[in-house]
Structure 1
């Protein structure tokens, strides 16, 4: 069986890796006024954060159209038996639902839509695993079973430097927990039941980063092989330093650095830092 792997741009998988593993991408977009930009295609992350600083209003974001996704599936159906389509959490975007609907409109191929219940490189972890399994001849059922197994140990926490983006964008559930102290806290957030919710209030950036490391240690100290990623919102030096620190302490963990691109960066804001991992 020939299995294609599709994801959306919010997995933020570099183009050279997508090409190597034959991963197909449906881009989400950010909209500044009357101008729309497809992330990872029309707009890179560095330019995005510069544009946000100069913008009077926050940009809006939009998911891929059902027409785009259907057309992509139809093209893949010409030489594939099945499609695994992995997307950002259904609690913050309708992209997964679009994949489900598009899959029902395409003949000649079986579409397996997978809700990562997360975003960014944690979503990418699922995509990379699926792509490697597909290249090694795994069936779509075997791939989905493995992704659900990964989900059991997947963890992700992120610190937001400024809650106003999430509050204005309506993507933070339980935002009232921070009313009255928004300017003072550097909150840790995580995904619960597909939604972004507060995890802990923390008073300073340094303490928030230390808390991220202590949460990571709870699993890393077990000594099991793990994959982990530090995710940064236009803070590459800080992210690399955190990665090097963790790598020195936990040589059994495969660590990388990734980023909050335009769509997710619209909601989290510049200066955010995330840490995600799963047990291999």
Structure 2
């Protein structure tokens, strides 16, 4: 048995950590008019936000086609892989995992083990890193069981703040948007993944107050997960506001001494839905070596 680990591009893992852990990726797409841009290949996050900023209509996004997956699986089969652990963003906001399943049924000689992470971004990426680091150490069934367990709120949570709900409302990705529509420009909503869907959980008047509230929510999450700070990885994820992310990292390091604090970004696909200037924190408490992150 030879196992490959595949994760989609919304994990936003660095090239370095993918190389170190031999992780394969498959890109989702952002579409401006008739121009298709493969995430992390054809367009950088900075180029994407510059391009989106001046447009009245949002770009659209699309999952990899079944054909894209088949090409990847056939290549992995040629390299001697017999099994693929394929991890993807929430099936409640994208059809990516369904196409992975369909592709797996179309290629002989290789078995695909799909994991719906119920989330996206860093938590998805760290699940892939863990899978890659453990695939030759644990029986496959045990590793798959752990990945399913680690994606739960016992090990993963996240909170993020958007400038307004316009993009999420237009894109139909916010399950309770109607409760917030009348105040789109007046509040800084705090969002969370719940059951694989993006849900607005609080309405806060300023971004500073919203981030202060997020700090309290992180503390509650760590307490609920019943772990020490040293066992926690916090990742600040931002949409083209690098300096603001750095300041928030300093604040988290002061509040949660001993925790590992990382920085990542919302790339084009997730950025399409959250909008520029969004910022969030992912809280993970399973052990993955993040060297090269």
> Aligned residue pairs: how many?
279
Corresponding residue of 1:32:
32
Determine which of 228, 248, 267 is the counterpart of 1:223.
228
The reply on whether 1:264 has 2:265 as its aligned counterpart is no
1:124-203 aligned at under 5 Å gives the runs 124-134=125-135, 136-152=136-152, 153-203=155-205
Q: Is the 8 A contact 2:115 2:148 kept in 1?
A: no
The reply on whether 1:279 has 2:285 as its aligned counterpart is yes
The reply on whether 1:251 has 2:253 as its aligned counterpart is no
SS of the equivalent of 2:188 reads coil
SS of the equivalent of 1:105 reads coil
Q: Is the 8 A contact 1:231 1:273 kept in 2?
A: yes
Give the C-alpha shift of residue 5 in structure 1: 0.3
Corresponding residue of 2:207:
205
Distance 2:208 2:237 in 1: 16
Corresponding residue of 2:291:
none
Of 255-264 and 101-110, deviating more is 101-110
Distance 2:185 2:254 in 1: 34
Distance 1:109 1:142 in 2: 19
Distance 2:56 2:163 in 1: 19
Q: Is the 8 A contact 1:82 1:140 kept in 2?
A: no
Deviation per residue, 1:71-101 (Å, 9 max, x gap): 1112112311210000000011000111111
Unpaired runs of 5+ residues, structure 1, are: none
Deviation per residue, 1:231-262 (Å, 9 max, x gap): 00111111122112212332321210100000
Corresponding residue of 1:110:
111
SS of the equivalent of 1:118 reads coil
Distance 1:9 1:249 in 2: 31
Give the C-alpha shift of residue 138 in structure 1: 2.8
TM-score, scaled relative to structure 1: 0.95
Unpaired runs of 5+ residues, structure 2, are: 287-293
Distance 2:203 2:111 in 1: 44
Distance 1:106 1:228 in 2: 38
Determine which of 231, 237, 246 is the counterpart of 2:243.
237
1:1-12 aligned at under 5 Å gives the runs 1-12=1-12
The reply on whether 1:84 has 2:90 as its aligned counterpart is no
Give the C-alpha shift of residue 219 in structure 1: 3.6
SS of the equivalent of 1:217 reads helix
